[in-house]
Amino acid sequence: AQAATLEALAVADIALPTFPDEQMLFGDPTPQATAERLGELTGEVVVKNGEQPALIALNGASQTVDAVHVAAPVDTTGAGDSFNGGYLAARLAGHAPADAVRRAHKVAAAVVQVRGALAPFATLRAAFDS
């Protein structure tokens, strides 16, 4: 799994890892350690960390962006994938990384409030645009 992950990142421009996965797979002690390790492979790194802030690392600088709190998640299936989709959509639309993370957090928060991994598109669009 390590080799496949590193091989994929070697040809990626953006990495969107989840810290608990990186901690388990690579032994990273902190999200910052994950960002530093992956920053050597790709230019833009956003380390997701569940309800904790996401860490953006880009061009030698880093910043955190708070997650959106959901009081009673219905189903967390698809939260990470929806974050990734929201982030990439925002970056492709020209949004800066921090704004893209805020939008991605909102999309993921909308997804965990419905059963299953697919929220209605109108719900996702509203979250992305809010």
Residues of 73-89 as b/e, b for ≥16 C-beta within 10 angstroms? eeeeebbbebbbbbbeb
3-state secondary structure of 99: helix
Task: Note if 81 is an active site residue.
Answer: yes
3-state secondary structure of 23: helix
Contact between residue 14 and residue 46 where contact means Cβ atoms under 8 Å apart: yes
Among the listed residues 13, 81, 99, 129, the single catalytic one is 81
Query: What is the total residue count of the chain?
Result: 130
Point out the residues that are catalytic: 81
